[in-house]
Amino acid sequence: MRERERELIAALAEGSLEDETEARALLEASPEARAEYQLQRHALEALSTASPTEMTDLERARLHGELWTRLRAEKAKTRSTVGIYGWSLAAAALFVVVGLAAVLGGGLLGGQGAATDTFEEIASGLSDTTAAAEMATEETQAGEEAEAFAAGDSESAAVTEEAQDYFEEEATRLRSDESLGRAADGGDEDSGCLERAELFDHEVVDVVGEDPAALVEGRYLAAVPAGAEIEPATPIHFVDSDTCELVYTAG
Amino acid sequence: MITREEEATLLARVVAGDHDAFAEVMRAHEDRVFSVCLRIVGDRERALDVTQETFLTVFRKASQFQGRSALGTWIYRIAVNRCYDDLRKAKRQRSDPLPDQSDPPDDAALDAVESAGLRPELRRALAALPPDFRAAVVLSDVEGFSMPEAAEALGVPVGTVKSRVFRGRRLLAEALGNQTAT
């Protein structure tokens, strides 16, 4: 079945055609098309029974509480200060408790707004809590930490030296790997990602970073000009597969 | 309707440390992200974890957003990737040999099925689809993404999305038909 015919059948099944004449004629003429149309309709009818899904207030509070906890813990780990980490855990635990209490005790009637207000209140009002006041006596002010933990400092705004070293090592490995396959992974998915990174006429030769022991987080597509031999001078581009942004070019 | 410039400004505020801006980003997108994740991974607990991972990634990579796509589309792309990670992890865990694995599904598992907002037979049929077909069908036919929106979220050309949706629906219908017959 040709692509045009598939598109017609799909659109007819969806009810999105302004003029169904051509599609109806296709069904009339082709048993295969009729059978395909029935399958498309069957699937769409089944999927239309899906009921809306929403987070409960408890789930929302948990999402916000745990997210905040992890963000603070990351920042505390970056600073490598045990004392602050300990207070961060205490403050984060307080955050979760207060968040749940607010949602369960008075926020339920307010629905979503209450749950997210809690997130904002605690995110911005840490300096008003007892724990935060105590934290203020520590080496770093709690209020500054609450603002600064999200800061676009040099580490988040650019590739770190550690990451650069990692990408350079991967590039060296790729250049010396004679058995390397072309378009090693992903196919359509990753080629679309390369295009969004404005690497046209490039192909993926490897995917790096998936190893939990890797120095960088995330999954990166290693790309070179399509069909090119990977030689010492060949630039190798590393594209973040989440955001499809070019993060580093080696060579 | 928020403009692309306003979205870029919002992300810039996130990068600059404005927690109110991050809360605003979450508030605007967390429900739909959760819904997408729930339909793809099929379990509320895991969907919540994946939603959390999604926004963690959004936060960490906010500086990389350049406004070439809508902010929501960028976020859903991250969400779909996190869903794929979760499915790969779940598959690895299932393939590990476990003792006493002969018990039938318990009530908790059935609750998880019902809590995904899908009839049990539909949920089973959807879970049987290859992940990339499942994601395409969920985005297009359950979450109402247009084909260009789904294509951006999945990081593939529009033609590829259309093909996946078409083939995914066919597989789904065949699986549902088989379930009815048995």
Quick one: A41 and A76 in the same domain? no
Range of the domain at A83: 57-154
Query: Among partner residues A59, A67, A148, which is closest to B17 by beta-carbon distance?
Result: A148
pLDDT digits (tens, 9 = 90+) for A80-89: 544 544 555 5
Query: Among partner residues A67, A123, A245, which is closest to B64 by beta-carbon distance?
Result: A245
List, as ranges, residues 201-240 from A with C-beta within 8 Å of B: 217-219, 240
Quick one: A67 and A141 in the same domain? yes
pLDDT value at A128 more than 60: no
pLDDT at A104: 63
Minimal C-alpha gap between B47 and chain A (Å)? 10
Quick one: A167 and A142 in the same domain? no
Quick one: A102 and A123 in the same domain? yes
Task: Give the pTM.
Answer: 0.68
Domain assignment of residue A179, yes or no: yes
Quick one: A139 and A203 in the same domain? no
Mean pLDDT on B72-91: 90
pLDDT at A100: 66
Q: Which of A13 and B70 is assigned the larger pLDDT?
A: A13
DSSP string over chain B: ---HHHHHHHHHHHHBT-HHHHHHHHHHHHHHHHHHHHHHH--HHHHHHHHHHHHHHHHHTGGG--SSS-HHHHHHHHHHHHHHHHHHHHHHHHHS--TTTTSPP-HHHHHHHHHTTS-HHHHHHHHTS-HHHHHHHIIIIIS---HHHHHHHHTS-HHHHHHHHHHHHHHHHHHHHHHHH-
Quick one: A19 and A61 in the same domain? no
Most B-contacting residue of A188, A190, A191, A247 (CB-CB within 10 A), to test interface: A188
B113 part of contact set with chain A, CB < 8 Å: no
pLDDT value at A214 more than 80: no
pLDDT digits (tens, 9 = 90+) for A133-150: 444 444 344 344 444 444
Minimal C-alpha gap between B91 and chain A (Å)? 16
A102 pLDDT band, cuts 50/70/90, is: low
A150 part of contact set with chain B, CB < 8 Å: yes
Domain assignment of residue A52, yes or no: no
B124 part of contact set with chain A, CB < 8 Å: no
Quick one: A13 and A30 in the same domain? yes
Structure ipTM = 0.83
pLDDT value at A66 more than 70: yes
Quick one: A83 and A135 in the same domain? yes
Domain assignment of residue A132, yes or no: yes
pLDDT value at A207 more than 50: yes
Contacts across the A-B interface (CB distance below 8 Å):
174
B26 pLDDT band, cuts 50/70/90, is: very high
pLDDT digits (tens, 9 = 90+) for A138-182: 434 434 444 444 443 333 345 777 788 888 888 888 888 755 545
Quick one: A95 and A136 in the same domain? yes
What's the domain count of chain A?
3
Domain boundary among A129, A154, A179: A154
pLDDT value at A218 more than 90: no
Cβ of B30 and A156 within 8 Å? no
Q: Which of A105 and B161 is assigned the larger pLDDT?
A: B161
Domains and CATH numbers, chain B: 1-93+111-117 (1.10.1740.10), 119-182 (1.10.10.10)
Quick one: A134 and A203 in the same domain? no
pLDDT at A7: 93
Quick one: A199 and A230 in the same domain? yes
Helix axes B44-60, B71-95, angle to 10 degrees: 130
B143 part of contact set with chain A, CB < 8 Å: no
Quick one: A176 and A88 in the same domain? no
Domain assignment of residue A196, yes or no: yes
Decide: helix, strand or coil at residue B14.
helix
Residue B174's closest chain A neighbor by CA? Answer: A39
List, as ranges, residues 82-111 from B with C-beta within 8 Å of A: none
Q: Which of A249 and A214 is assigned the larger pLDDT?
A: A249
Q: Contact, A60 vs A112, CB < 8 A?
A: yes
